[in-house]
Amino acid sequence: MNSLETTKSLLSSPVSDIIEKHPIKKTLYESLFPTFDHKEWLPLVQKMKKHYDKILIKRGEKLYLPRGTKLFHGSTEYPFLGNNPNIKRITFFGLDIDISIWYILELVRLEHFKKRDNFSQYGFLYLFTLTDDLEIHKLIELININPKDTRKCGKVGNVCLHPQVVFRGTTDDSPNIYKLSSEVTLHYPVYKSQLSLDRVYVIDPLVLEQNKLDREWNVRNAVIRRYKNLDNLKRDIGMYSDTLDAKTYIKNYLSPPKGSLKKKRKKKTKRKSKKKI
């Protein structure tokens, strides 16, 4: 891949801080406040809000993501599922690759709840570019508010923007290495004409799994191949249609990593000393 072009296309989160505090887990008392964010996250959220002030266009009381903004969508499916007009649920897009690529690992790790065989071996990162300014109907400023649970974001035709935590796996099994990204939610069929699918990147989820404990690891290293000419991807899709059997899937994703299990120490037995005669 051309490194310069890759740098311009694959945008990282503007907030690079990494913290260890789980963003969702709360004490019993804290759970009484559903919109409560841990204090450790507040500085990062403030940084992201300042970033929004820089990139959003304000016209009167309305906010817009400008034309040319890149939106990323991570998936284990090809082609892009949003093209299906029967899908009426909201589609999640990242404003950077961090959350969208790591989301692929989350999808793969959750497959054992839905499948018994034929597990995903590859993932796909879809890169869209806005062809027109996109109005934001709601800007959520807390990470503990899920747009799926808000009436305004769930309404067909509404677009929401909010800071979101990057999990390296699921919310339950991610290592304590967290950073902040951004998500845009919308109903794709409504805005399809404003979203140009420019590139598709093939992702190796196993590389994500193998490096999720490395704080400094660059998520770009999970990219196997970039397709700018989408007709070439259609031609090559058979290369990425292989799946994993259950045994291999369990070994790759559900078995404890090497070195994580402590070896049991053998109990030392005292040798009986011979009595001196």
Delimit the domains of the chain by residue range.
3-254
DSSP codes of every residue in the chain? --HHHHHHHSPPPS----B-S-SS---TTGGG-TT---GGGHHHHHHHHHHHHHH-EEETTEEEEPTT-EEEEEES-SS-GGG-TT--S-EEEESSHHHHHHHHHHHHHTGGGT-SS-EE--EEEEEEEESS-EEESEE---TT--GGG-HHHHSTT--EEEEEEE-SS-TTT--S-BEEEEEEEE-HHHHGGGEEEEEEEEE-HHHHHHHTT-TT--GGGGEEEEESSHHHHHHHGGGG--EE-HHHHIIIIISPPTT-SPPPPPPP-PPPPPPP-
Say which range, 153-167, 194-208, 259-273, has the weakest mean pLDDT. 259-273
pLDDT the model gives residue 86: 65
% pLDDT > 70, the chain: 88
pLDDT at 277 over 50: no
pLDDT at 4 over 50: no
pLDDT at 72 over 60: yes
- Average pLDDT in the 95-121 region? 97
- Average pLDDT in the 177-187 region? 97
pLDDT the model gives residue 34: 66
Average pLDDT, the chain: 89
pLDDT at 215 over 90: yes
